[in-house]
Amino acid sequence: MLDPVNEQPEKPSKTRRKKDMIALQKLGETLVNLPKSQLAKIPVPDELLEAVTVARSLKDHEAKRRQFQYIGKIMREIDPEPIKAALRKIESNSEANTVQFHQAEQWREKLIANGDDALQELLGIYPQLDRQSMRQLIRKAQYDRAHTKNSGAATMLFRCVRELLDN
C-alpha cells in the first residue's frame, strides 16, 4: 500500500509486525516438535538448527519460551518460505500415508468378511497378486476371528495389502 503523501510504501503497523513475529515463532515451535528424521529433511541454516536442538533439550517452561523467541528472531532474518514448503510436503505425505493405511485396513476387513469375492475384486485391481498365499492368509484370519484366536494372520494380511498399495 502506498502512502499518499510521500508515495512510498507504508511500513507495516506494529500489530502486523507482531503477528508476523508470532507466526514465525510458531513455525519455529513446529520445527522443535518434529522428529529428528523429518527435521533433517528441512532446509534450515545451522544457527536455526542449533537453536532448535537447544529448545528440545530445555525442560523449564520460561527457558523454552525465551528459546522460542530466539528461534523467531532467527526466522525473521531468513526466508521462511522453503521451510514452510518443506513442512507442507511432510504434512501432505503423512496425510497420504494415513489415507493409505485406512485403505489397507478396509481391504483387510473386506477380505476377511467376504473371502474369495473380495479377493477376486482385489485381483481385478492388482493382477500381480499371489492368489494362493493371499487365500491362505484370508482363511487363517477368518479361522482366527471365528475362534477368537490371534495367530497374526490378520496382521500379515494387512501387511501384504499395505505393501501392495505401496507399489
Q: What are the average pLDDT values for consecutive 10-residue runs of the chain, which has 167 residues? A: 62 89 91 90 92 94 94 92 91 86 93 91 90 91 87 89 86
Is residue 117 one of the residues assigned to a domain?
yes
- 36 falls within a domain: yes
Residue-level pLDDT at 151: 82
Hey, what's the cell of 72? 523467531
In a domain, 8, yes or no: no
Q: 3-class DSSP state for residue 126?
A: coil
Q: Determine the pLDDT at residue 70.
A: 94
Task: Answer yes or no: is 107 within a domain.
Answer: yes
Query: What local confidence, expressed as pLDDT, does residue 147 receive?
Result: 87
Give the total number of structural domains in the chain. Answer: 2
Helix (H, G, I), strand (E, B) or coil at 34: coil
Number of helical (H) and strand (E) elements in the chain, helices listed first: 8, 0
What is the pLDDT at residue 74?
Answer: 93
